[in-house]
């Protein structure tokens, strides 16, 4: 299971093949990790933006009173939605999210991880439904190779090779998707 912000920095340093392997190895938990870390990054970036706005206005401390001319709650909601849209795969821009280089770098890496995960899912969907279900159960640690061998009435080594071949098809197809996306 993957945890912590260090996962992002490790992922950033991997080449495309190792990224796909990382996603396949952590297939059962990576979707939840992406959602969780995206929320954490949103909170951090919004906090950093608030600090930057106060600095730009020349404020040195915490604001005691806000003007009656705007709705800070609506502004915060719009800010959050706008930021969440920038994490979306539909947004192709590599926008400047805040002045903090580390937060910007993590946000870009998270967006790449999200894109790569989407390509792995697309590659999985190219398998037959039966192969996709079995491989998914193995990757999510819901089934063991022993259970698959028993279910299919084959030897353990044959089940292992069956999963290996399915995983290799997904890996190669996802890698092809990622490399074609990077070439654009």
- Domain range summary for the chain, segments of one domain joined by +: 6-183
Judge whether 177 and 123 are in contact, CB under 8 Å: yes
Half-sphere exposure of 68 (CA within 13 A, CB side): 0
Burial class (CB in 10 A: 0-12, 13-18, 19+), 8: buried
Task: Tell me the pLDDT of the chain (184 aa) as tens digits.
Answer: 455 567 888 999 999 999 999 999 999 999 999 999 988 888 888 888 887 877 777 766 555 555 555 555 666 666 767 777 776 666 655 565 677 788 888 888 998 999 999 999 999 999 999 999 999 999 999 999 999 999 999 999 999 999 999 999 999 999 999 999 877 5
* pTM (whole model) above 0.85: no
Q: Which residues contact 92 (CB under 8 A, 6 or more apart)?
A: none
- Residue 70: DSSP 8-state: S
């Amino acid at each position: 299971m993957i945890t912590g912000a260090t996962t992002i920095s490790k992922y950033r340093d991997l080449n495309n093949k190792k990224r796909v392997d990382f996603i396949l190895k952590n297939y059962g938990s990576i979707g939840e990790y992406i959602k969780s870390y995206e929320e954490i990054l949103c909170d951090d970036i919004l906090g950093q933006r608030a600090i930057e706005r106060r600095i730009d206005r020349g404020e040195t401390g915490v604001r005691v009173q806000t003007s009656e001319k705007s709705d800070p709650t609506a502004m915060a909601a719009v800010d959050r939605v706008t930021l969440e849209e920038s994490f979306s795969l539909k947004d192709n821009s590599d926008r400047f999210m805040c002045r903090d280089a580390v937060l910007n770098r993590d946000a870009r890496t998270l967006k790449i991880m999200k894109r790569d995960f989407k390509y792995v899912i697309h590659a999985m969907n190219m398998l037959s439904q039966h192969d996709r279900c079995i491989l998914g159960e193995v990757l999510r640690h819901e089934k063991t190779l022993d259970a698959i061998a028993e279910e299919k009435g084959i030897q353990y080594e044959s089940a292992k090779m069956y999963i290996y071949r399915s995983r290799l098809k997904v890996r190669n197809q996802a890698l092809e998707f990622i490399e074609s996306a990077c070439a654009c």
